[in-house]
């Protein structure tokens, strides 16, 4: 079906103008006090993003989850709405659904909603996996791992017959790096983070930084007891080649590059519609 849209995205000029004014003032070193109207616009855009996440999550669950399905449950803020809808459908339609989590957060969501929790030992083949993304390009290549769950997310997605992505309008890019500026997350064995960082920077350029925790001293530690590197690349790459090359570096556990995995992406849009993007047909 290619790139489809229920309706065209609505352009919101004032909020963009306000953001530009803020950026300009900051770059000149001057003090910028937003007009109350601008504060409302920023708040409104955040509210639209939350509603957009809900629209995408609901659409994915309604279109891809059926009775007796085993469902992979992703991680992040958008997946919360998908699980809300999944639990609602289970109650209303008396569905028999089994859920396999990608993280501690996903596991807690499943339990809190009273859904049936399982794992890949008991259900190594999933009917569908639904997850979010930090950024999606035109070819449905994803950057994931902003929350640090990339390895388990990729394992679960790889076990699913269908991998469906949900996101809000801010995650839609023509090329990776256009919207997401924090780089590609890479999970590494702790003792290897320095040599892996040096190797990636030498071979592919850019900057590689160890992700540090916010509310504790020291680095972020994943559910697998590993560290996260964030590779801030300088330009678009052949992501298939780069992903394979980085994974071959000793000490790398997994990358946040999801290449050729997503089948369809649902983008919740600013105007209350849902835009669908399918895998390009070569």
Whether the pLDDT of residue 34 is over 70: the answer is: no
Pick the catalytic residue: 135, 153, 187, 254? 153
Residue 146 CA from chain centroid, whole number: 7
Length of the chain: 282
- Band of residue 59 on the pLDDT scale cut at 50, 70, 90: very high
- Band of residue 56 on the pLDDT scale cut at 50, 70, 90: very high
Q: Report the 10 Å Cβ neighbour count for 211.
A: 21
Please state which of the ranges 30-34, 61-65, 100-104, 179-183 shows the lowest mean pLDDT: 30-34
What is the model's pLDDT at position 235? 86
How far is residue 282's CA from residue 267's CA, in Å, rounded to a whole number? 22
- Band of residue 11 on the pLDDT scale cut at 50, 70, 90: very low
What is the model's pLDDT at position 47? 85
In a 13 Å sphere around the CA of 107, the CA atoms on its Cβ side amount to 9
How far is residue 182's CA from residue 202's CA, in Å, rounded to a whole number? 19
Q: Report the 10 Å Cβ neighbour count for 223.
A: 16
Q: Quick check: 182 and 232 in contact, CB under 8 A?
A: yes
270 is catalytic: no
Q: What is the mean pLDDT of residues 92-111?
A: 97
Whether the pLDDT of residue 148 is over 50: the answer is: yes
Q: Buried b vs exposed e over 137-175: b needs ≥16 C-beta within 10 Å?
A: bebbbbbbbbbbbbbbbbebbebbeebbbbbbbbbbbee
What is the model's pLDDT at position 12? 27
Closest CA to 229 of 151, 140, 177: 151
Average pLDDT score, the chain: 87
Q: What is the mean pLDDT of residues 65-81?
A: 97
Give the DSSP letter string of 61-81.
HHHH--TT-EEEE--STTHHH
What is the model's pLDDT at position 7? 33
């Amino acid at each position: 079906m290619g790139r489809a849209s229920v309706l065209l995205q609505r352009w919101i000029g004032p909020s963009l103008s306000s953001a530009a004014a803020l950026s300009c003032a900051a770059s000149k070193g001057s003090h910028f006090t937003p007009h109350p109207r601008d504060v409302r616009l920023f708040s409104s855009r955040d509210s639209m993003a939350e509603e957009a996440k809900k629209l995408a999550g609901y659409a994915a669950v309604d279109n891809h989850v059926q009775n007796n399905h085993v469902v992979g449950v992703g991680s992040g803020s958008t997946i919360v709405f998908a699980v809300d809808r999944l639990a609602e459908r289970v109650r209303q339609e008396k569905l028999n659904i089994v859920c396999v989590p990608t993280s501690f957060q996903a596991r807690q969501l499943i339990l809190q909603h009273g859904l049936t929790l399982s794992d890949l030992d008991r259900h190594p083949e999933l009917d569908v996996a639904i997850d979010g993304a930090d950024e999606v390009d035109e070819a449905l290549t994803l950057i994931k791992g902003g929350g640090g769950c990339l390895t388990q997310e990729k394992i679960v997605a790889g076990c699913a017959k269908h991998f469906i992505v949900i996101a809000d309008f801010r995650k839609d890019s023509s090329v990776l790096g256009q919207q997401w500026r924090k780089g590609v997350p890479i999970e590494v064995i702790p003792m290897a983070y320095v040599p892996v960082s040096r190797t990636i920077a030498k071979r592919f350029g850019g900057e590689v930084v160890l992700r540090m925790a916010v509310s504790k001293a020291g680095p972020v530690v994943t559910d697998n007891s590993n560290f996260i590197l964030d590779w801030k690349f300088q330009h678009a790459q052949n992501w298939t080649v780069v992903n394979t090359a980085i994974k071959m570096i000793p000490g790398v556990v997994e990358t946040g590059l999801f290449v050729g995995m997503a089948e369809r992406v649902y983008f919740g849009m600013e105007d209350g519609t849902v835009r669908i993007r399918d895998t390009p047909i070569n």
